[in-house]
Every structure is written in C-alpha cells, then in structure tokens.
Amino acid sequence: MNSQNIIKRSATSEITPAPHVRDHQMEVAKLIDVSTCIGCKACQVACNEWNDLRGEVEENVGVYDNPRDLAPETWTLMRFTEHEEEETGKLEWLIRKDGCMHCEDPGCLKACPIPGAIVQYANGIVDFQSDLCVGCGYCVAGCPFDVPRISQKDNKAYKCTLCSDRVAVGQTPACAKTCPTGAISFGSKEEMKTLAATRISDLNERGYENAGLYDPEGVGGTHVMYVLQHADDPKRYAGLPKDPKISGVVEGWKDVLKPAAAVAGAVAVGAMAAHFISVGPNVTEEGEESPDDAA
Amino acid sequence: MYSLGDGAKNAKPRIFHIEGDPDHPVSRGSLCPKGAGLLDMIHSKNRLLYPEYRAPGSKEWVRISWDEATKRIARLLKDDRDKNFISHNEKGQLVNRWLTSGMLASSAASNETGVLDFKFARGLGMLGLDCQARLCHAPTVAALAPSFGRGAMTNHWVDIKNANVVIVMGGNPAEAHPVGFKWVIEAKIKNKAKVIVVDPRFNRTAAVADIFSPIRAGSDTAFLMGMVRYLLETDQIQHDYVRSYTNATMIVREDFAFHDGVFSGFDAATKSYDKSSWTYETGPDGNALRDMTMTHPRSVLQLLKQHVDRYTPEMVETITGVKKADFLQIAEIIGSCSAKTKTLTWLYALGWTHHTGGAQIIRGSAMIQLLLGNIGMAGGGVNALRGHSNIQGYTDLGLLSLRVPGYMNLPSDNQQTLQQYLDETTPKDVIPGQVNYWKNTPKFFISMLKNLYGKHATKENGFDFDLLPKWDRSYDMLAYFDLMYQGKVNGYIAQGFNPLAAMPDKNKTSLSLSKLKFLVIIDPLVTETSNFWRNEGRYNDVKTEDIQTEVFRLPSNCFAEENGAIVNSGRWLQWHFAGQEPPGDARHDPAILGGIMTELRRLYAEEGGACPEQLLHMTWDEDTYHDPSFPHPEEMAKEANGYATQDIYDDSGKLLYKEGQLLNSFADLRDDGSTQSFCWVFTGSWTEAGNQMANRDNTDTGLGNTPGWAYAWPANRRILYNRASMDIDGNSWDPHRQILHWNGEKWVGADVPDFPATIPPGKEAAPFIMLPEGVGRLFSAKGMNDGPFPEHYEPVESPIAKNPLHAKVTHNPTARIFQNDAERMGNRTEFPYVATTYSVTELFRHWTKHSHLNAMLQPEQFIEIGEKLAAAKGIGHGDTVKVTTKRGYITAKAVVTKRMRTLNVAGQEVDQIGIPCHWGFEGATRKGFLANTLSPGVGDANSQTPEFKAFLVNIEKTDEVAA
Ligand code: SF4
Ligand code: SF4
C-alpha cells in the first residue's frame, strides 16, 4: 500500500485532507469464528513466519497460552478460557485469537503524538510506520484492547499489520490463509458480516441463543470481528471488553503532551509515557478480569 | 515452498518461506502449526551437518569423513553378520536370518527410501526391523484387515464432509490433524452434522463438539460393546445391509464358546488360543453355512447378541465412568444413523491403538459401522487417522518385523518352500461366487520376489524364496529391545527414529542401548537416542564412561530436500519435489543406505562370508540403479509400481506389455516371473503414462472425490468398499450419496469402483472383495489373537481391583509381557491415578521441538490434572510436580484444569492425569525429562503396540526446578 491509500494519519491536522482522487477502496475485514477455532495456533506460527518474528521460548505457567502475552515479537496469540455453566455444569473451552482489532476509530492513532507514525488506509487497516515511531507508548495507552507493545530492542511500537503487505497484492493475511479449520475468513467488511450472519444462525440452531457478531460501536466498528457463541458476554473470552471506547483521558493526554513531544523530543516523551504504560490502558471496565487471569 | 533461485546452476536454492498449496484438495492452502513452522525445522540449528563418531566410553563426538563412516559401519555389520548369521535352526530348517543386528526405518521418509530400507534389512537377513507403525497404528491393520479386508482408513479426509454425525473416540483430530479436521467443521457448517467426542480429556476437538463425555482411559471396548448391545436391542441396524453384506447370517461352529472372560481354545501355558473353533460351520460342499433369517442360535448375529448382553448401560457406566444418561444420549444419535440416508463417520487414532486390547477396540467401531450400514458409504467408514507423514506408506511397504510389502507376511520357519507358503497364505473360497481377491496372492508374492532378486529369481529356485529370512517368533520393537536388554543384540541402525524418546520405559531403553556394540544414527536432526550416552543430569542420568557403545551419527535430508512420494491417511500417494539440497555435508537417505550397501556388497564379493547371495542377489546393482551407491527416487518409485520382465500377451495372444514396460494395474501381475513389482498395492502409481502420484487435477467428480489428484492405492479408489453403498441390485442406499452406478456395461461414477468393474448388479458377489466371504465380519473368525468378538479387559496397570465382567480374568489373557517388564509394573495402592499420554497440536512427537517457531508455542513439559485432585494435592497453576511410576519419574509444570474430571468407576473415584509426550533433553524447547520414562513395556495382544494410553502413576508437588 502506498501513501495514496492513507486516509488517516496520527497527529495530523484536518487541514491536510487525505488523498481522495482514487476510486474508493473496498473496506476489508477479518472474521474470526470463535466457535470453529480449535486453538491450534497455526495462525500464530504463520504470523511469526511471514513477519519474521521469533519470540522467546518461555515457560509454561500452568496454561496453554504461549507465548504468555502479546509482545513486540508476538502480534497475535490464542487466549484459552475454561468456562463452566453454573446451572448445567456444561464445560466450554473458549479460545480467542487476540491481536489488533483494526478499529475504524483507532485509539492508538488518536493518541499518537508523532505525525504519520500511525496511519489508517482506505481499506481500514491501521498500520504503524516504524521509521517515524519514537516509542513514546501513547498508542499503548490509547488502545482499548491492550494491543501495541514497545520493543526493548529498538524502542518502537509493534502490532499486527493485518498483513497490509499481503493484502496490498491481493493475498489474504497469513493467519487467514493458514487457519486449518477456516475459522479465520478475510474479505470485504460487508461479505464478512454476511458470512457471520450464517454462522450465527447455525449457532442459534445449536442452542446458542446469544450468539452474535462482535464489531463494537464504541470504536466505530472494527476490521477484525469475532463470531461469539455468547455475544452477550464477551468478557468470558479472556476479558474481551464488552463496550470498548477510546478513553477521554487519552484525548486529554494527547492535547497536553503533544506540544511537549514537539519540544522535548522523543526521550522525554518516552519517559512520561512509561508512566502511563505502567498504569496500563485504563479503558477496561471495572472488575473485568485481565487476560492474564484467564486460564 | 518458496525457494531462492530460479534453478540456474549458479543460484543455489534455499527455502525461505513455506505456505500451504491452495490447489490441494485436503489442505486447500491451510497448514497446521507444525506445517506453518517448518521453515525453522528445515533450518534448525540442530540439523546435523557432517558425519560424527562417538568412541566407546567417550564424552564427545568427533567429526569423521563419509568414506570412513561408510567403511567402518559396513565392516562392523559384516563382522557381526558373518559371526552370528543363522542359516539353519535347531530343527535343521533353512532360515537365513540375522538376529544380532536390527534396524528402525523412518516413516518420515519417502516411499522410495522405504523400498531401500526393506531391501537393505532383508538383504542382510534382519528380522529386527520395524518402523514407527509399530508404536502407533499397527493395531489398525490387525483390526481392520480381518473386519473389512484391508487395514487402512476406509474413506478419506474430504469425504468427512458428507457425514451427518462425526464421532471422535480414541483420537483428537483437532489437535493431531487440524488440516484434515477442517472437513469435520465443513460437515458441521454445511451438513449440519453433530460432532461427538468421548475422551478421557476435554480436548481441543471437544472444544468445538456438540457433545462431550469423559471416559476412563482403557475402557473403550466396554463403551463400544454397550453400543452394539443398544443397537441390537433397539433394533437400530440397517437390516438389508447387515443381511447381505456382513457375516451376521453365517453359522459358527458348535464348539465355539465364551465363558468367564475366555474364548474356546485357550491354553494358559502359552497364553494363546487354538483358534480352530473360531470359524464357520461348513456344509458337505465345503462352503460355509448361512441362515439368511439370522435367527439360528449359532448365527453370528445371535452369538453377538449373546456376547454383548452383559454390556448394559449400567455396566458401561461401571466400567467406563460414562454416565448412563450421557451414554444413552450418544447411543440415540448413533442409532439414528442406521437409516439408509444417514451416515456416521468414526475418527480415531492412537487413543485406541495404545492399549493391550487396542486392536479389539478398533474392531468394536468396525462392527458398529457394519451394523449401521456405514462402510463403503460417503460420509461413513472407520477412519484411522495417521500421524507420521509417511506412516501409511511404510505400513504399505511392509517395514515391520514379520511383514513384506503389500500386506503379506514374511514366511515362517515352517514354510520351507514357496509352494507351501502360498498354499498356506492364499485364502480359499468359503462362499461361492465371491471375488476373494487375495486368491491372487501368488501373483503378488512372486512379482515381489522377482523384484527383490531379479535375474537370480527363477521358477526353478522358487524365485529365491530361500533368501528371504524366516521367522520363529516376533521381533517387534518391544521384543527386540528386550533382547537388547538381555545383551543379545550387537548392532542397531536408527533411521529417522528416536527410540529413547518413543519407546515406553525410557530407563529400560537406555540400558538396552548401552548393551549395543554399535549404534548407527541416520537423521536430519539431533535426537536423544544419538546422545543416549551423554549425562544430562536428572534428565539422562547415565554413566558415560561405562557405556561402551560406538555411535555413528550420519546426517540425512529432510522431506523438503528430496523428491519422492508419501502416502497420506486416505491412502493417497503424493509426489513432492525438493526445494533445496540437504545442508552442509548431509546426504540423502538413499545415498547413505546406498553407500553402506555398496561397500557391503563389495566386501562380500571379495571376501565371501555368511550367505553372500542374500545380498548379492538382491537387486541393488548396476542393472537396477544408475548408481547403486545413490539410487534416485524415481527408480524406486518405478520398481514399486513394477515392470514386465518380458513381453506379455493376453489369452487371445494380444501383446499387453513389451519387456521393460511399466505396468498399469496389479490385475496384470503374473505368478510366472514375467512381471515384477515391489509392492503390488502401488501398481498403477507410475505407468508408461507417467508419474500418477504427481497428478494435480483437483476436479471434484462428486461428493468431494478428486481422482485426478495424486494416486490412491488400490487402483486409485478413494472410498474403499464403495460397492457397499448400493444394494445387491445396484441401487444406492441413499440417492444423495450415489458414488457409482451401472451403465449397462460397467460400474462408473464419482470414484473408481472397489469391485470388478464388469460384474453386473444382482450377482452373488458381495462388496468386501478382500475377504473370502465377500462380506464384512462382525465375527472376525480366526483373524485376531484374542477372540472373534471384542471383550473388555483392564489395562495391565488398572485402577480397579478386578474386571467387573469376570473377576478371574482381569487382563487380556493373551497380552505378552516379558519377565523384566512384569517386574516394572506398579499397583494401584502405590500408584493410584490413571495416566494417559498424548500429543498436543503445537508439536509433532519429538521432532518439531527443534523448530523455534513451534518451541515458542509449547516451551516445556507439562501435565494436566483436574481441579479436584490438584486441590487435594495442593497443586496450583504452574507448580512443578513430580510424576512417578514403578519405572521412573519426570518433573513437569502442572496445568490445573476443569477439563479433567474425577470419574466414578466400579464404585470408586478415579482421577486421570494427562501427560503430553514431546519434550526431552534436546531441541529448541526447554530441557527436560522424556515423558516415556513413565509408560509401561507391554503391548497390544495382536500387534505389540505399547500401552501408552493407560497406566498408573502417583503425583506430588515438588520443589525440584521445573522440567
Ligand atoms: S486494536 Fe488497538 S492497536 Fe489495533 S487499531 Fe484498535 S486501537 Fe489501534
Ligand atoms: S489457525 Fe484457526 S483454528 Fe488454529 S488457532 Fe488460529 S484461528 Fe484457531
């Protein structure tokens, strides 16, 4: 994808509008059908392989989730939750592929103080432009899904690119192509919604009354959507927020900190941002379990 | 595979990316985590790059040249063979065997390497030959061949999408076969199929199933016999099918009996059966008697009813821990598939094979599928899911101690002549009008001899029958390692095989290997076996200096570096092409075997020695291969198919083949030496029209069949026994599942008929053409060692005091157990918990732990334990635990889970512990124990595949550092 596909840039005023001479590009989406995901992690491997990422060989800490968390070298991972229905005792092993949701209204982009370090393309993909990234960590704080990670190696933020390089040449993202069960589909957002509807009606027939699509409005919808068996209770899926929003606080920080960024440069901003990172993205709802607590 | 370079001479190819092939009918471009991580396996830092040598007592490897390695290994082999070769047994029979050296052949290698493995081992007279099939699916062949005629998956991956019900027991395909599992999801989504999982653990398959029931490991036979009882009692069977296509109608001999856990003919001294009563009553014409009403008290159907009568839902619950209500819910769904228009597919893998009664469990599902009329049907079948990439091919090629290619047996001591062997192994007709295709055994066997011994094989010398080693007993891995343990084995070759990790009872395996004089490792990667002599602290606590075994380590290619065929679960021979050369000084397997064999032949030609003809007559010379020291895969692929050795004419005198032409079909094989074929089931795979295994037309001819893609044995048939999808008159049971129809002259349709194409509808010939009866066997006659009907016996290490069915016969009475293994068995007081071992999806056995991409996903040994037991033992998430059996201990991280439940069995609580089996002291993963330290050395009564799936352990929290 090239600059003419960019429709939004971080820290860029509305005065320079995005190019719009080209034909409108189709909005894309990835649909993850949690009800047919077997948690095999092939998508994780394909992501690492395609993007040349090699994380640490960590430890087993008593769960199947490995690596343990998203990281600069881990842009997607499976989160496993065991859920037992109280009345029936019916056990479910819910497996959710975590990673960037490619929000229509991306909190990371909004929070980023560096012009053009985060962009959104006309097809909806939110992409980090690493050459511009100063590693300040605002995107981390700005993301309602706790996705970006700053690398210790080069002090830059990393996350899923939705394989913008593959998509640009008409390929599906590596995870979608590799997924052996077809739990990951990729296409236009409209097609994905239609597909989701057929999956939801199948789940309804199988007794999942609350099956539904996760495409949260609070962030303007997402370009990565889930079919959930229990769309009424997304938190069950390793703490997926029920109603994610870009925190007003983020907007506030942004205004305060942006001039600082321009003046004091990346180092100072990075130090200040470290504070927000350690506090964490304060957009998860009260009492919500963090993904780390989920088995 | 994406590889650098465009094939130009100066551009050395190197693989840099791997993605699925979107044209492939099964994968459709997807990959499992192992496939997706192959790049790091191919380029693993643990690839072996040059030949190495470890001297007796030494602590290190030294690099040596290929020339030195080849010469020294050949010399060691020759000296041992010359010294210990047995030309005649005590009875004076000619046996031509060599027992003091053996070989493990790699079922991760291609068919073409397999051809050489066989010629290498048998050319030297070895009987201690096995491949990984011994440790995995050998019981499948032992069970399905006597049930249906062939011992392989009946249908194929894509066909699963046609099922209405998918039942998974003794397998975990979402975990072990994610790519094939897509067709289960397809059945769910497109066919509204119900998916049922019955397993000791709530596993990844259960995560997407509609119904799950836990079951006690080692009790599946009881569940299945309970199901048979339910189907018979509720009369939910496909009557027309059962009457026409099974042996339910046949009358069994009067002296057949079953009392108190044993069948007639048991000899307690030898722990074996005299099977003479396990057969049909015959009439004056010699044909088996039948009662088409199936009401005769000794008809198979009535005997079966009687046999399963004890397996009430209550008894099933007592033995298996499956709640009666759950059992009945599942039974109702299974019963609904007796309708002609509904099919059920049965998927299983090693969860069924790894038991002392493994083959009989599989029989249970075969019987249910026959009763439901689901064999030969699209969306039906008993589908054995294979593991190692080419385990199916290696099984087809006969790389097991007592087998030869194409599902025939190696002759025994008592079969001294070719004629006698053929008389005893070729089945006689028992019902008139049946195809009984095995009556062609002489054509298959003689064509094989002609392939093995070429110009030396003549009618006069019985086609060199004498040169095949003859057997007196089984030399399966358990037996052979026991001989090694006793110091009776001197040399061993392990090609692409890691027995220290893969065999049960690692500590015994280690002691056994220590008694070898020499060990030859042929492998692309560092294995624990190659370093068995190295002290790794607790993980491998050996005294290096005391181990006097010389070890050679020869680096070989991996799959991505060779041309060749591998056979998938659905019996498809699929050709693949090399993407790069082996790294460093590594060589292709055919070059390694070819090098050693060429040197051996040179030595025998020069020096003579024990029975030199055995290898000098073997077709491993310039007449056979362009370069005997490095035969090309294409040469072996063609010989596996077979040639005409002279001009061949049909009965009318028409020329069928010119001398040297490749054969089109095994139907053209002859028993006079005018044809040769290494493996008759592969005939048709490489014909004069070219390499059929490389075919890439993925057109769906109906119901997901793609006969233009690759080549399926036999004869490119995709759904075995597909004639059974129609009644005798040729009407499909289910018009929506029509595979074939009669066009007035022959059977045609979406698949190749698994039946003589020109036998018209309405004839007596029944669809199970490989069985002399022509019908599927509910009663397996003499086909099994431990009884014609399955019976539940407790695992050798059982958590309950006695078998609830018959207190005096608790265990499988025919299970073989060696004295020193018996001493290493634990009891339920000391070891109160049931353990079961398995694979997780992120890793493939002990291989992909060398891939960093996969190591990241499951970095270290863990075990799974239920919340209740964990609480009682004070074990929390991620704690380190020590798991102990009579044979040793391992430490591991604890995954405390709701997915393992306490079961109520025979009036007591039984807790089960899950032990994945992947890690060790080599690899990119964290160092740890080999989980097979725990498992017991006892095998399935029919195939000696070890009981990895049900044994007893104790578990405690420990302060020892994690595994
Ligand atoms: S999920 Fe987070 S990182 Fe991804 S686009 Fe939304 S806000 Fe940005
Ligand atoms: S590859 Fe597909 S099935 Fe496997 S974990 Fe990823 S989304 Fe789930």
Q: What pLDDT, on a 0 to 100 scale, did the predictor assign at position A1?
A: 64
Instruction: Write the CA distances from B455 to A265, B24, B449, B644, B683, integer angstroms.
Output: 85, 41, 10, 13, 21
Q: Mind giving me the DSSP string for B601-631?
A: HHHHHHH--S-THHHHSSS-STTT-S-TTS-
Using a CB-CB distance cutoff of 8 angstroms, which residues of chain A are in contact with residue B189? 36, 199, 202
What's the pLDDT tens digit per position in B225-235?
999 999 999 99
8-state DSSP, B559: G
A50 inside 8 A of chain B by CB: yes
**Of B733, B521, B701, B570, which Cα lies nearest the Cα of B158?**
B570
Q: What pLDDT, on a 0 to 100 scale, did the predictor assign at position A250?
A: 64
Peptide bond before residue B200 is cis, with ω within 30 degrees of 0: no
* Fold (CATH) for B154-250+306-385+774-783: Dimethylsulfoxide Reductase; domain 2 (3.40.228)
Mapped onto helix, strand or coil, the DSSP state of residue B668 is: helix
Using a CB-CB distance cutoff of 8 angstroms, which residues of chain A are in contact with residue B858? 60, 66
CATH 2.40.40.20 is held by the domain B819-957: yes
Can you tell me which residue has the tokens 């596993």? B203
Query: Buried (b) or exposed (e) across B209-234, using 16+ Cβ within 10 A?
Result: bbbbbbbbbbbbbbbbbbbbbbbbee
Across A3-12, B801-810, B833-842, least confident range: A3-12
Contact between chains at B33 and A42 (C-beta distance less than 8 A): yes
- Residue spans of the domains in chain A: they are 3-251
- In the predicted structure, residue B169 carries a pLDDT above the cut 60: yes
The distance of B330 to chain A (nearest Cα, Å) reads 16
A202 inside 8 A of chain B by CB: yes
Q: What is the residue type of B509?
A: T
What's the pLDDT tens digit per position in A30-87?
999 999 999 999 999 999 999 999 999 999 999 999 999 999 999 999 999 999 998 8
User: Tokens for B752?
Assistant: 């190749």
The distance of B509 to chain A (nearest Cα, Å) reads 28
Q: Are B301 and B308 in contact (CB under 8 A)?
A: no
Can you tell me which residue has the tokens 């997926």? A240
The alpha carbon of A56 is separated from its chain's Cα centroid by a whole number of angstroms, namely: 21
The distance of B318 to chain A (nearest Cα, Å) reads 21
What's the pLDDT tens digit per position in A173-221?
999 999 999 999 999 999 999 999 999 999 999 999 999 999 999 999 9
Test mutation, A32, A181, A198, chain B, max B CBs within 10 A: A181
What's the pLDDT tens digit per position in B30-73?
999 999 999 999 999 999 999 999 999 999 999 999 999 999 99
Nearest CA to ligand 1 atom 6: A103
Dist CA B315 CA B312 (whole Å): 5
Q: What pLDDT, on a 0 to 100 scale, did the predictor assign at position A263?
A: 40
Nearby residues of B892 by Cβ (< 8 Å), 6 or more positions away: B860, B861, B862, B863, B880, B881, B883, B915, B928, B929, B931, B962, B963
Peptide bond before residue B297 is cis, with ω within 30 degrees of 0: no
CA-based nearest residue in chain A for residue B854: A45
Chain A and chain B share a number of CB contacts under 8 A equal to 167
Dist CA B260 CA B807 (whole Å): 8
CA-based nearest residue in chain B for residue A201: B189
User: Tokens for B257?
Assistant: 């009996």
Contact between chains at A295 and B182 (C-beta distance less than 8 A): no
A182 inside 8 A of chain B by CB: yes
Dist CA B346 CA B168 (whole Å): 6
Question: Confidence band (pLDDT; 50, 70, 90) for A279?
Answer: very low
Please state, for a pLDDT cut of 70, what percent of chain B lies above it.
Answer: 100
Mapped onto helix, strand or coil, the DSSP state of residue B186 is: helix
Q: Are B646 and B608 in contact (CB under 8 A)?
A: no
Using a CB-CB distance cutoff of 8 angstroms, which residues of chain A are in contact with residue B45? none
8-state DSSP, B381: S
**Of B342, B249, B350, which Cα lies nearest the Cα of B304?**
B249
CA torsion sign for A130, A132, A135, A136 is negative
Enumerate residues 219 to 278 of chain A having a beta carbon within 8 A of any beta carbon in chain B: none
pTM of the model: 0.94
E strands in B524-596: 550-555, 564-567, 572-576
Q: Are B197 and B351 in contact (CB under 8 A)?
A: no
How remote is the CA of residue B342 from the centroid of ligand 2, in Å? 30
A197 inside 8 A of chain B by CB: no
Test mutation, A45, A61, A85, A203, chain B, max B CBs within 10 A: A45
CB atoms within 10 A of CB B601: 20
Nearest CA to ligand 1 atom 5: A102
A293 inside 8 A of chain B by CB: no
- In the predicted structure, residue B153 carries a pLDDT above the cut 50: yes
Q: What pLDDT, on a 0 to 100 scale, did the predictor assign at position A12?
A: 83
How remote is the CA of residue B92 from the centroid of ligand 1, in Å? 81
- In the predicted structure, residue A277 carries a pLDDT above the cut 90: no
CA torsion sign for A99, A102, A108, A113 is positive
B183 inside 8 A of chain A by CB: no
A166 inside 8 A of chain B by CB: no
Q: In the predicted model, what is the mean pLDDT of residues B380-407?
A: 93
For B945, list phi and psi in degrees, rounded to 5.
-85, 130
Question: Confidence band (pLDDT; 50, 70, 90) for A14?
Answer: low
B898 inside 8 A of chain A by CB: yes
Nearby residues of B409 by Cβ (< 8 Å), 6 or more positions away: B402, B403, B425
The distance of B343 to chain A (nearest Cα, Å) reads 20
Dist CA B350 CA B367 (whole Å): 19
Ligand nearest to the CA of A127: 1
CA-based nearest residue in chain B for residue A84: B898
- Residue spans of the domains in chain B: they are 154-250+306-385+774-783, 819-957
User: Tokens for B826?
Assistant: 């634990």
How remote is the CA of residue A149 from the centroid of ligand 1, in Å? 11
Ligand nearest to the CA of A283: 1
CB atoms within 10 A of CB A86: 7
Dist CA B43 CA B34 (whole Å): 14
CA-based nearest residue in chain B for residue A66: B857
Contact between chains at B858 and A36 (C-beta distance less than 8 A): no
Pocket around ligand 2: residues whose beta carbon is below 6 Å from it?
A 37-43, 78, 97, 179, 181, 183-184
Q: Are B740 and B748 in contact (CB under 8 A)?
A: yes
User: Tokens for B200?
Assistant: 């000791």
Dist CA B523 CA B530 (whole Å): 9
Whether A244 is in the pocket of ligand 1, judged by its Cβ within 6 Å, is no
Q: In the predicted model, what is the mean pLDDT of residues B64-87?
A: 98
8-state DSSP, B408: E
Q: What pLDDT, on a 0 to 100 scale, did the predictor assign at position A17?
A: 65
Contact between chains at A66 and B29 (C-beta distance less than 8 A): no
Mapped onto helix, strand or coil, the DSSP state of residue B676 is: strand
Does an H or E element contain B903, and which?
strand B903-905
Contact between chains at B841 and A40 (C-beta distance less than 8 A): yes
Q: In the predicted model, what is the mean pLDDT of residues B794-820?
A: 96
Residue of higher predicted confidence among B2 and B252 = B252
The alpha carbon of B944 is separated from its chain's Cα centroid by a whole number of angstroms, namely: 12
Q: Are B403 and B830 in contact (CB under 8 A)?
A: no
- In the predicted structure, residue A259 carries a pLDDT above the cut 70: no
Closest CB to A61 among B31, B841, B878? B878
* Fold (CATH) for A3-251: Alpha-Beta Plaits (3.30.70)
A179 inside 8 A of chain B by CB: yes
Dist CA A67 CA A53 (whole Å): 12
Mean of the per-residue pLDDT values for chain B? 96
Does an H or E element contain A81, and which?
strand A76-84
What's the pLDDT tens digit per position in B531-569?
999 999 999 999 999 999 999 999 999 999 999 999 998
Contact between chains at A49 and B212 (C-beta distance less than 8 A): no
Q: What pLDDT, on a 0 to 100 scale, did the predictor assign at position B867?
A: 97
